[in-house]
Amino acid sequence: MTRRSANASDLQALEAIYPLFDESSAKLRELFLSALKPVPDISITEWAEQNIILPPKVTAEPGPFRIDRTPYLREIMDCLHPENPINEIIVWSGTQLGKTQSIFNSIMFNIVNAPAGILFGFSNTEEMRKMIQNRFDPIVDANPMIRERIFAQRAGRSGDTLNFKDFPGGDISFASGEAPAAWISNPRRYIYIDEADAMPKDLNGKGDVYELAKDRVSSFGSRYKIYMSSTTTNKSSRIKTEYELTDMRKYFVPCPHCGHMQLIDFQRFRYEATGLLVTDVYMLCENCDYHIHDYDKEYMLPRGEWRPTNPNPTPKNKVGFWISGLYAPVGWQSWKGAMETYLKASKDRDTAKLTAFYNSVLAQPYEEYSDTPSWERLYNESRGSDYISGEIPEDVIFLTSATDVQENRLETELKGWCRNGRSKSIAVYKFFCEQDVKTDDLNSKCWTEFQTTILDGQFIRRDGVVLRTVQNAIDRSYNTSVVNSFWQSYCRLEEARGLKGEYRLTQVRGRDTIDDIITPFKLDRPGQRGQKQLSKNKKRKDGVFMFIDVGVSVLKTQIYKDLNEEDNVARTKQNILKFPADYDEETFKQLTAEDYMPPDSKHKKGWWSPHRKRNEFLDLNVYNRAMWYLIGAYRFKAKDYDDIEAKFTKAVKTVAVETQQHKIAKRRVLSRGGNIY
């Protein structure tokens, strides 16, 4: 809505108020007249570039404001323009992105061009004081256009105090979450709320800050603005809740190599390091696997664009923006520094530092990824899968397996791996012993069937390509001596086949207390104390058994994190798990059978507590993911996937397409614990 211009009656009114036209009153009259002018036809970004000077006290890059360093702020500031029909702007972000400067630019534009009552809210009085004294006031002092409109406290005027600043046509009240009086005072046209998640949930019994803000602007009809921004907290996040009620815009940037538009996503980050010292860090393009580096942001950010991601209808006058600290301009917050922070916090299992990293850098809640996923949700989502157990979809490139040894059976999950770490569970096998026979008897049929079906088996992909498992894990925690013997006999068989040094069967031992995902191979010499770690390439000797330790706590956290991803958001993300359409409820109950417990007086690090007895499927997923790391797939590029597919697949053109009756028969056999090949 365009405001009217000053007319003759306005001038007469001003002359009545200020009859004495000395130099100071004339200047005041001029300022009041300017407040009646229409809002200029210029964006806040353009106006700020023409008028705002950033002093050295508030920035490491002093001088005229320039949007080219933070181009993602342009659309946010466009929405803050008084003439823009958007009323409510929600910004869920990481730190060091220039977000606060966009608030200052908006406030100063309004002071000069569209004056009215302004409320700027902070979580607490101390943060408010530091922001005003260290940032807001220095910018005001550096910009005469703003300074001359705010009555100077230094000249003894009452219009400029710590929490109140007067100017022609309006004023600014600075409010703290610790002092609710300002939130329930006069009407305000513009309200800015910074770090909303740090606000008290209830301002001394007066209610929620966002609802109070809506009350303050209610008299302005459709001309109001409420801006709320924050990093997130782990539980009951206000900014996350409000963001999910908007169109949920995210900033997509182009790959410098192929141009594919994508998010800067930490899950696609890869790194090289010596210990905790990162020597290289890059992000894989989700389309071409190009190595995108931190310096590439100088190309990507100016070419980025905000895209709505919420498929549901949302209010037309409310928009939301999400952006992580990984988008920070080159020189502000480096990817190398972010990765080193993450690695150190992960190694120490420091919950506080991990929470800070996820909240402030990734703009994500941390505990959300440790929360136990809902088995009901996973079960229901799997009903829409495009394959059933035993089928291998065309995008599966290689297979691994993981086997758990029980008293009367072996349980195995066959896992299909796609590009960029996405996985599809293919089938769960149960190899039972004969009646009155246990798995400690290597002559039991369970061992023969396991070897024939899994280790030596060939699996036909839906397009006729034949696959074998490239790596197989077997848990040695139960019946260790028997597993040792089976492992040794199968390694001898592999050697006889000419595969010396390329053993496809790996003994694993789960360890909850180690920080590594997998350790180097260790030697187990029965009858000798201790276990020796191999420092060079593994080489088997009869009577000496090799195995690796698996950091099950680390991998369970990864798996729960991936399972907690919203299905409609995570289709292209790294390490997303998919399941056949016919897995039963028990499978998903086992997958979610444990809860992460934070550190306490008895546990210096977080630990996992089972809430149901059976958790075999969770263990199998952990060991399959360990095999993915063992073969080095986390470092794979597009060419590596091409080479793997060429090495471990063989086209078969005579495989007939299965009928639906065949599929049903396979399901019935599988449900009875039999083999499907």
How far is the CA of 337 from the CAs of 69, 255, 259, 349, 531, in angstroms? 20, 22, 26, 18, 36
Distance, in Å, from the CA atom of 587 to the CA atom of 178, rounded to the nearest integer, reads: 49
Nearest to 541, CA basis, from 617, 487, 597: 487
**What pLDDT is stored for residue 30 in this prediction?**
55
Nearest to 54, CA basis, from 129, 143, 144: 143
Which amino acid appears at position 335 of this protein?
A: W
Question: Which regions of the chain are under pLDDT 70?
Answer: 1-37, 151-161, 180, 204-205, 234-235, 349, 367-370, 500-502, 525-543, 565-575, 598-606, 647-677
**What pLDDT is stored for residue 200 in this prediction?**
78
Per-position DSSP letters for 390-449, written without gaps between them: T---TT--EEEEEEEE-SSEEEEEEEEE-GGG-EEEEEEEEEEPPTT--TT-TTSHHHHH
Distance, in Å, from the CA atom of 654 to the CA atom of 556, rounded to the nearest integer, reads: 41
CB neighbour burial string for 528-550, b if at least 16 within 10 angstroms, e if fewer? eeeeeeeeeeeebeeeebbbbbb
What is this structure's pTM? 0.61
Distance, in Å, from the CA atom of 242 to the CA atom of 245, rounded to the nearest integer, reads: 5
Distance, in Å, from the CA atom of 294 to the CA atom of 336, rounded to the nearest integer, reads: 8
Which neighbouring-strand residues pair with 562?
none
**Start-end of H helices in 198-252:** 209-217, 238-243
**What pLDDT is stored for residue 669 in this prediction?**
36
Which amino acid appears at position 202 of this protein?
A: D
Distance, in Å, from the CA atom of 329 to the CA atom of 167, rounded to the nearest integer, reads: 34
Mind listing the domains of the chain with CATH numbers? 1-38 (no CATH), 40-257+304-327 (3.40.50.300), 375-671 (no CATH)
**What pLDDT is stored for residue 32 in this prediction?**
55
C-alpha 285: how far from chain center: 16
**Token pair listed for 655:** 């495989």
Query: Collapsing DSSP states into helix, strand and coil, what is residue 593?
Result: coil
Distance, in Å, from the CA atom of 337 to the CA atom of 318, rounded to the nearest integer, reads: 35
Distance, in Å, from the CA atom of 555 to the CA atom of 549, rounded to the nearest integer, reads: 12
Distance, in Å, from the CA atom of 662 to the CA atom of 183, rounded to the nearest integer, reads: 68
Quick check: 112 and 146 in contact, CB under 8 A? yes
**Token pair listed for 334:** 């480096």
Distance, in Å, from the CA atom of 425 to the CA atom of 381, rounded to the nearest integer, reads: 14
**What pLDDT is stored for residue 86 in this prediction?**
96
